[in-house]
Structure 1
Amino acid sequence: MTTRMKGKRLLGAGFALGLVLAMLSANQVAADKYEHLAMTPPMGWNSWNNFGCNVDEKLIKATADAMVKTGMKDVGYEYVNIDDCWHGDRDANGRIQVDKERFPSGMKALADYMHKRGLKLGIYSDAGWRTCAGKPGSRGYEFQDAKTYAEWGVDYLKYDWCETDGLKAEGAYMTISRALKAAGRPMVLSICEWGDNDPWKWASPLGQLWRTTGDIYACFDCEYDHGTWSSWGVLQILDMQDGLRKYAGPGHWNDPDMMEVGNGMSAEEDRAHFSMWAMLAAPLIAGNDLRNMSKETLSIVTNKDVIAVDQDELGIQGFKLKSKDGVDVWFKPLANGEWAMAALNRNNHDQTFKFGFRNEKIVDDLTKREVDFNAEIYTWQDLWNKDNKGNTKDLIKTTIKRHDVLMLKLTPKGAWEHKKPKGH
C-alpha cells in the first residue's frame, strides 16, 4: 500500500467518523433499515452473471428498454442493477465518481432514465477497501457514499464482502444500513457476504435480503472450484437453503443468488431453476442478456403463475416434504388457503413420478398450516402446462424429464363428504 493510498483511506475514515458523530449528536441516525421495502421478494435484473465487468451506459439503458418491451416490467420486474465495475476514482474530497468513459452521462441521468420508464436503479459497492473486481470500496466512506447514492436517485444497493480483513460482518452491514437511513432516500439493501457469517440470524433489521451462499453459476448440478472458494450449481444452492425458511418473510428474504435462466442451461433446467426459486420465495433477479432472449427463455421468466407463487403476499418460503427415486417434492403455503407444489427431478434421466394426495397429510411445522386430502378436495393446475389439470381425488402419474419440474397450484374446493379408501 502506498503512502498516498494510506492517506486517502485515513481521510475517508476520518470524514466518515466525523459525519457519523455529527449525525449521532443530532439524533439523526436510526439503527434500523427503511421499513416497508421489498414486502415481496425483489424482482429485477443484475449485470454480473452475463456481463461481469463489461458494463456501460449503453448496455444498462438497452436492458431497461428490453425489460419494458418484452413485458418483464408488466409482470413485476422493476430493478435494473449495475454490479461491479461502474466505479471511477474518488475525487479530492473522497466522493466516489463513475467511470466517465463507460458512463459519460453520469449516474443521476441513468437513474432518471429508469424512473421515467417506471423502473428503478440499483448499484453495487463493497464493505471492504476494494470491490471484488478491485474498484474503490466503501470502507471508511459509508455515509459519504450513501449520501451520494441518494443524490443520484439510486433505489437498490448490493453490498459485497471482498477485502474486508479485520471487519465484523454484522457491524459492517449495520454501518451501511445506518448510512442509507441517514441519507434520507429509501433504498433496498442487498447484503452479499455469501452466508459466511450466518446473516439470517442478524441481518433482518439491517437489510431487505441477504445472500445465503457463495456465487451461483450456470450449471444445474456442479461445483466450480476456484481454489480458495467455489461457485455452485442450482441443486447445490437449493440444498444449502435447508433450515433457513424460518428467517424469511415480508421485507426480509433469504437470497440464494441471482438467476442463471437463459445463460446456457437446458430449457428444462431453466424451468426447474425458476420454479424452485419461486418455491423458496427468493428474489427473482435475472442475470441473462435481456436484449437477446429466446422465446423459450422469455416464456420462463414471464410465467405469471409461477411469479405469483414467488410473490405471494404471505411471504412464506416453501419446504421439502420428501424425496423418492431422485424426485424432491416441495410444498409452499399460499394466501387464500392455496398451496404450491413442485416435484423436482434431480436425476440425470427422465423419471416416472407418482403422487397420491390421499396418502399424504401435508403439515407445515413453521406456520402450523396443514391439509388432509382425505377430508378436503383441492383442484390443481399445472403452472407450466396449462392444459394439465385435475383434483386431489386422483393419483398423479407422469414422467418428469431429466432436471425438469412439475409445478402445481392447489386450490381448496371444500370438504370431501364421500371419502374413498386410500390408495385409489
Structure 2
Amino acid sequence: MKLKYLLLVCCVWSVSVYAQKNTVALTPPMGWNSYNCFGSAVHENEVKANADYMAKYLKPHGWQYVVVDFLWSYDNPPGSHIGNPYQKNLYDGSFVPWLTMDKWGRLFPQPTKFPSAFGGHGFKPLADYVHHLGLKFGIHVMRGIPRQAVWAKSPVLGASGITADMIADTASKCDWMNHMYGLDMDKPGAQAYLNSLLKLYASWGVDFIKVDDIARPYHKKEIEGYHKAIEQCGRPVVLSISPGETPVNEAGHVTQNANMWRMADDFWDNWKEILHMFDYAKSWENVGGSGHWPDCDMLQIGKLSKRGPVGDERYSRFTEDELYTHMTFWCIYRSPLMIGGNLPENRAVERKLFNNDEVLAVNQHGQQPRQLYKTESAMAWYSHVPNSKDIYVALFNISDKDQEVSVDFSALGLKDGVSVRNLWKKQTIGNYKNTYTTPINKHGAILVRLTPSK
C-alpha cells in the first residue's frame, strides 16, 4: 500500500512539473522591456504608462509581458543609467550605496523609484496593476547573490544555519556589474537561496524572469538552479537567460532548462548588427520550439535611450526599410518579441509594425523556420503554415542597392501555380507559376504567404 502511495505521489509530482514546464512560452513571448529606453533608471509611473499603452493598443494583437529591467533595487542618482553602483566603505568594508534588501539577502525594489513597494510590499502592487490590465509582469535579475548579503552574512531562508557567505562563489563575478557574486551550487543552501527568491517573486505575481550574466559564460549549474527553483515556486514563470552568445553546443541543455536564451550580445539599431544576427540565427536553426526559443534580443523600434543606456535619446536609427527587415526577420525566425522603445511615444510606423495580425501569426504559429538561401546580396527564410499546405516566405535585400529578389517555388516543393499574398500590405498580389520575383529597396524585406493553386 505504501509503495502504491509513493508511486502515486511521484506520478502526480512529475505530471505537475511537466504541466508547469509546458504551460509557459508555448509560442514566442511578446511584450515590452524597459532597458532600451530607460536603462537602469525606469520609474513606476513609466512602467505603468507602457502597460497602459500595451493594454489599449497591443494586447488585442497578442502582446502581453511588461518587464522591468535591471537595477530596480538601486536608487539611481541623476545621470547614472547603467553600471556599477557599489563602492566599498573605507571604515567597515560594507557597500555604499546599500541596495534595498531583506534580512534573507533578497533584493527588493527601491521605493524612490517604485513608491508602491514602500513598506516591504515589493513588486506585488505593480504586478497587480499589470495583471488587472490583463497583462503579465516580469523582472530582470542578476545571477547569484548580493555582495552586501555576503558581507552581512545574511541567513538563507529554508536552510538552517547557512548564511550567504557560505554559499557564495566570490571568485565568480560579472565583468560589467559589481554588486553580485555567483553561487556555488554544490554548497548546501545554494538551491534553498534560489528557491527563496522564486517563492518571493511568485508571491509578488511575477510571470517572467530575465536572468543576466548567466548565458555567457554559460553557468550550467546555476541555470539548472533557477529552473529547479521555478518548478517549486508554485507559479508558472518564463525563464529568459542572457546575454549571448549562448554556446551552441549547449543546445540540448538550454532547451531543457530555459524558455528563451540570447544568441548574441546586446543588439542595437545598427545595420551591421542585423547582418550579424542572421548568422547567429543560422547557427541555431531548427532548435527553437514550443517552450524554448532562441532569442535575437529586443526590438530596437521606437523611442530609445531616454535615460541611457547607449547613445543619446532618439527614435531608432534604422531606416524604415531596415525596420521592416528587423521585424520581418524576428517574426519568420520565431524569436521572442520584446519591444525596446517607449510605447507611449510610438508613431504611425511603430504602430504598423506592431499591430499587423497576419505578420504576428508568422511569429506565433509558423512551423519549422528554415533558411532557403543566402547570397552576398539576398536571403530568404520560410516556415510552414500549420494545418495547411501554405508556406510563409520572407525575402531580404541585404545589399546596399535596390534590386529584385526571387523565390523558386520548386525549392519549397510547390508546383502547378501559387497564389501570393503580401502580409505587410494585407493584399493578395496574384497567381504565379514557377517563381515570384519582386523589387525590394536596399536593406528592405517582404513577407508573403504562398498558397498552392491546387
- Sequence identity of aligned pairs in percent? 30
Q: Structure 1 residue aligned with 2:359, among 281, 285, 306?
A: 306
Deviation at 1:356, TM superposition (A): 4.6
**Partners of 1:217 and 1:44 in 2: CA distance:** 17
Match of 2:264, SS state, is coil
**Partners of 2:106 and 2:222 in 1: CA distance:** 19
Q: Structure 2 residue aligned with 1:270, among 307, 311, 323?
A: 323
Unaligned regions of 5+ residues in structure 2, if any?
1-12, 74-98, 118-122, 147-173, 184-189, 303-315
**Partners of 2:182 and 2:362 in 1: CA distance:** 36
Q: Structure 2 residue aligned with 1:156, among 186, 208, 220?
A: 208
Deviation at 1:317, TM superposition (A): 4.1
Aligned 1:235-254 pairs, distance under 5 A: 235-254=275-294
Q: What residue in structure 2 maps to residue 328 of structure 1?
A: 379
Residues 196 and 210 (structure 1 numbering): CA distance in 2 closer, same or farther, change over 3 Å?
closer
Q: What residue in structure 2 maps to residue 346 of structure 1?
A: 398
Q: Structure 1 residue aligned with 2:414, among 372, 387, 393?
A: 372
- Match status 1:220 vs 2:271: yes
Paired letter, 1:63: N
Does the Cα contact within 8 Å between 1:45 and 1:80 map onto a contact in 2? yes
Q: What residue in structure 1 maps to residue 128 of structure 2?
A: 112
Deviation at 1:190, TM superposition (A): 0.7
Paired letter, 1:170: K
Q: What residue in structure 2 maps to residue 103 of structure 1?
A: 114
Residues 355 and 144 (structure 1 numbering): CA distance in 2 closer, same or farther, change over 3 Å?
closer
Q: Structure 1 residue aligned with 2:100, among 84, 89, 95?
A: 89
Deviation at 1:193, TM superposition (A): 4.4
Deviation at 1:361, TM superposition (A): 2.5
Does the Cα contact within 8 Å between 1:169 and 1:193 map onto a contact in 2? no
Moved more, 317-326 or 119-128: 317-326
Residues 164 and 41 (structure 1 numbering): CA distance in 2 closer, same or farther, change over 3 Å?
closer
Residues 47 and 135 (structure 1 numbering): CA distance in 2 closer, same or farther, change over 3 Å?
farther
Deviation at 1:137, TM superposition (A): 6.9
Residues 302 and 42 (structure 1 numbering): CA distance in 2 closer, same or farther, change over 3 Å?
same
**Partners of 1:164 and 1:76 in 2: CA distance:** 30
**Partners of 1:246 and 1:288 in 2: CA distance:** 29
Moved more, 290-299 or 86-95: 86-95
For residues 225-282 of structure 1, the C-alpha deviation after alignment (integer angstroms, 9 at most, x for no partner) is: xxxxxxxx12211211113222211111111111112223111111111000111111
For residues 89-137 of structure 1, the C-alpha deviation after alignment (integer angstroms, 9 at most, x for no partner) is: 3222323211111011021000000110000000011223467544557
Q: What residue in structure 1 maps to residue 82 of structure 2?
A: none
Does the Cα contact within 8 Å between 1:129 and 1:163 map onto a contact in 2? no
TM-score, normalization: structure 1? 0.79
Match of 2:281, SS state, is coil
- Match status 1:80 vs 2:66: yes
Unaligned regions of 5+ residues in structure 1, if any?
1-26, 222-232, 363-370, 415-424
Deviation at 1:169, TM superposition (A): 1.6
Aligned 1:119-138 pairs, distance under 5 A: 119-129=135-145, 133-135=177-179
**Partners of 1:173 and 1:150 in 2: CA distance:** 18
Deviation at 1:318, TM superposition (A): 1.7
Q: What residue in structure 2 maps to residue 177 of structure 1?
A: 227
**Partners of 1:204 and 1:320 in 2: CA distance:** 21
Give the number of aligned pairs. 361
Paired letter, 1:53: S
- Match status 1:205 vs 2:192: no
Residues 39 and 187 (structure 1 numbering): CA distance in 2 closer, same or farther, change over 3 Å?
same
- Match status 1:57 vs 2:44: yes
**Partners of 1:93 and 1:297 in 2: CA distance:** 43
Paired letter, 1:293: N
For residues 10-58 of structure 1, the C-alpha deviation after alignment (integer angstroms, 9 at most, x for no partner) is: xxxxxxxxxxxxxxxxx99x98762221111110011112221121101
Does the Cα contact within 8 Å between 1:126 and 1:138 map onto a contact in 2? no
Deviation at 1:320, TM superposition (A): 1.6
Q: What residue in structure 2 maps to residue 288 of structure 1?
A: 341
For residues 346-390 of structure 1, the C-alpha deviation after alignment (integer angstroms, 9 at most, x for no partner) is: 112211234453xx322xxxxxxxx232xx433110112234512
Deviation at 1:163, TM superposition (A): 11
**Partners of 1:67 and 1:95 in 2: CA distance:** 30
Deviation at 1:394, TM superposition (A): 6.1
Deviation at 1:321, TM superposition (A): 1.2
For residues 34-89 of structure 1, the C-alpha deviation after alignment (integer angstroms, 9 at most, x for no partner) is: 222111111001111222112110110000001122x2111010000111011243
Does the Cα contact within 8 Å between 1:381 and 1:390 map onto a contact in 2? yes
Q: What residue in structure 2 maps to residue 8 of structure 1?
A: none
Does the Cα contact within 8 Å between 2:380 and 2:407 map onto a contact in 1? no
Q: What residue in structure 1 maps to residue 156 of structure 2?
A: none
**Partners of 1:325 and 1:236 in 2: CA distance:** 13
Paired letter, 1:286: I
Deviation at 1:338, TM superposition (A): 1.6
